[in-house]
Amino acid sequence: MAEHIITVVNEISEKQYDAVIEKAVRASLDFEKVEQACDVCIMVTDDENIRTLNKEHRKIDRATDVLSFPMLTLSPGQKIEVSPFEIDESTGAVMLGDIVISIERAKAQAEEYGHSVEREMAFLSVHGMLHLLGYDHELSEEDEKLHFSRQEEILESMGVRR
């Protein structure tokens, strides 16, 4: 199995969610059978910073729960095939992309949906990972069903339930 590099950058002091984030990223890569070693960075931030990123990159001036910044153009279920110059020589990994999660949105949504913040952080991490892997619920109703059903399957594989 590939040696994935998962980095959680926590801009806030609540590092207790880092382990569930890493577990969700690994579960997503395993579930999607990603054989190529990938490098993924997840930043945990606040509403103010994610709002700035959302405005800058999506032209939407409001806080959101999760943003994904894929480095590869993939289709759902597509095997990652890259040329040698796209692989970091020192790690053997290809940069898959970045995910940004707002801890404030995660906490509010956990309360709204009546589950733990850990469950919400796992959900947002899996959601973001699927975007990096080519899934996009905003393209069509069919794509939305595929994205959301994959999310649930991955969370279920982790033992994370509603």
Residues in the chain: 162
Say what the pLDDT of residue 7 is. Answer: 94
What 3-state class would DSSP assign to 66?
A: strand
- DSSP conformation class of 78: P
> Average pLDDT for residues 78-94, to the nearest whole number?
91
Domains and CATH numbers, the chain: 5-157 (3.40.390.30)
* pLDDT at 85 > cutoff 70: yes
Say what the pLDDT of residue 139 is. Answer: 72
pLDDT digits (tens, 9 = 90+) for 123-148: 999 999 999 999 987 777 887 888 88
Say what the pLDDT of residue 15 is. Answer: 83
More confident residue, 72 or 139: 72
> Average pLDDT for residues 96-107, to the nearest whole number?
97
Plot region of 35 (φ>0 → left; ψ -120 to 50 → alpha; else → beta): alpha
Percent of the chain clearing pLDDT 90 (strictly above)? 75
> Average pLDDT for residues 144-158, to the nearest whole number?
91
Pick from 7, 2, 12: nearest CA to 103: 12
Say what the pLDDT of residue 33 is. Answer: 94
Distance, in Å, from the CA atom of 103 to the CA atom of 14, rounded to the nearest integer, reads 9
Say what the pLDDT of residue 2 is. Answer: 58
